[in-house]
Amino acid sequence: MSERLLAVLHGCNLNMLGERDPAHYGRQTLTELETLVKEHAARSGFSACLCFQTNHEGELVEQIQKLRLSAAAVIINPGAWTHYSYAIHDALELVRSPVVEVHLSDVAHRQEEWRRRSVISDVCDRTISGKGTEGYLEAVSWLAERTAGPEGKLET
Ligand code: DQA
């Protein structure tokens, strides 16, 4: 049986979770969040879960390109790149699998106007925001169901 890979991609400043503005991002560290996501991915039928974070835009583009054919499903939170990176938009366009955009905070209703716009939403299958860590778990469940075959098994 071939590998069912879930890729969980994080952009700039998300390595600072736990320390960053807890009112918007909660108190959990990225490592704690990734552990919960990995556990839920395993429960949901993914055979592997790759977690990747970078503060360099080109590295995220390269990671997306690398995964474009091999991932069964992708979760992405690009951080501030969400709001202006056409390079990440164009890389996501190459991804064959379903992609869910996740934000910890409710970006559509935040004070800064520039945060309310996402330039990647149109190349994602779904956007979940404002649900904190729960949003990631919801994305995993949705993607597991979306990529499941007729018997509830993940499709080859
Ligand atoms: C974020 C929201 C972005 O506006 C911000 O730049 C982030 C995190 C979120 O998860 O709520 O870094 O993507």
Counting every residue written for the chain, the total comes to 156
**Three-class SS state of 141:** helix
For residue 53, count CB atoms less than 10 angstroms from its CB and return exposed for 0-12, middle for 13-18, buried for 19 or more.
Answer: buried
CA proximity to 100, closest of 29, 9, 35: 9
Ligand 1 contact, 79 CB (< 6 A): yes
Q: What is the spatial distance between Cα 146 and Cα 26, in angstroms, rounded to a whole number? A: 28
Q: What is the spatial distance between Cα 12 and Cα 150, in angstroms, rounded to a whole number? A: 38
How is the chain split into domains, by residue range? 5-147
**Three-class SS state of 64:** helix
Which ligand 1 atom is at minimum distance from the Cα of 25? Answer: 11
> Tens of pLDDT along 67-109?
999 999 999 999 999 999 999 999 999 999 999 999 999 999 9
Does residue 149 have a pLDDT over 70?
no
The catalytically annotated residue of 10, 40, 89, 103 is 103
Number of Cβ within 10 Å of residue 94's Cβ equals 13
Does residue 142 have a pLDDT over 60?
yes
CA proximity to 108, closest of 136, 132, 130: 130
CA proximity to 125, closest of 87, 95, 155, 86: 95
Right CATH for 5-147 from 3.40.50.9100, 3.90.780.10, 3.90.380.10, 3.40.605.10: 3.40.50.9100
Q: What is the spatial distance between Cα 93 and Cα 99, in angstroms, rounded to a whole number? A: 10
Q: Is 26 left (phi over 0), alpha (psi -120 to 50) or beta?
A: left
Is 109 an annotated catalytic residue?
no
pLDDT of residue 27: 95
> Tens of pLDDT along 31-76?
999 999 999 999 999 999 999 999 999 999 999 999 999 999 999 9
Confidence of residue 156 (pLDDT cuts 50, 70, 90): very low
The catalytically annotated residue of 10, 25, 89, 136 is 25
CA proximity to 43, closest of 155, 148, 140: 140
Q: What is the spatial distance between Cα 82 and Cα 44, in angstroms, rounded to a whole number? A: 27
